[in-house]
């Protein structure tokens, strides 16, 4: 055991975010996402809420400052007309940072996840909780 390390981030997740390079993308996927079918590398988190995992990861993970939108979610479709609560949770995590959520269509989102460095699968069961973050430089 170590002290002051988040229980939401497993040793495998620390290894993934440590090994990622500049411009690599990381997917934080909800429980509904077919991670094994869509991703080259899948690791798991005990997180029940994706925004809490995002907040912990951002303590160690610099976002790409050269990218206008280093944080991406899937745009609303298939009968979902109201912005999901998880997006407000993400916006609260990002409060004070110069970033907003970039929304892209479902197929484009899936294509991006196929090229991501890794996917972290959580047990978050909320709709539209998947998010992609792009790593920046460590200064």
Q: What is the pLDDT of residues 104-113, one digit of tens each?
A: 999 999 999 9
Does 78 or 46 have the greater pLDDT score?
A: 46
pLDDT over 80 (residue 129):
yes
CATH code of 13-134, in short, is 3.40.1650.10
pLDDT over 90 (residue 4):
no
The pLDDT score that the predictor gives to residue 1 is: 65
Identify each DSSP E strand in 30-108 by its residue range.
42-44, 71-74, 102-104
pLDDT over 80 (residue 131):
yes
**Considering the entire predicted model, what is its pTM?**
0.94
Q: In what order do the strands lie in the sheet with 71-74?
A: 42-44, 118-121, 25-29, 131-134, 71-74, 102-104
The pLDDT score that the predictor gives to residue 27 is: 98
Residue of 94, 121, 110, 95 whose CA lies nearest to 35: 121
Residue of 115, 112, 117 whose CA lies nearest to 130: 112
Task: State residue 136 phi and psi, 5-degree precision.
Answer: -105, -165
């Amino acid at each position: 055991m170590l002290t002051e390390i988040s229980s939401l981030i497993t040793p495998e997740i620390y290894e993934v975010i440590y090994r990622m390079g500049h411009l690599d993308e990381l997917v934080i996927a909800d429980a509904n996402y077919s991670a094994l079918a869509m991703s080259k590398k899948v690791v798991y988190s005990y997180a029940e809420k994706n925004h809490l995992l995002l907040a912990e990861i951002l303590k160690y993970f610099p976002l790409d400052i050269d990218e206008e939108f280093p944080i991406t979610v899937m745009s609303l479709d298939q009968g979902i007309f109201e912005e999901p609560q998880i997006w407000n949770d993400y916006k609260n995590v990002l409060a004070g940072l110069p970033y907003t959520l970039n929304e892209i269509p479902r197929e484009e989102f899936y294509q991006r996840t196929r090229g991501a460095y890794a996917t972290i699968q959580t047990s978050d069961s909320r709709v539209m909780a998947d998010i992609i973050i792009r790593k920046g430089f460590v200064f």
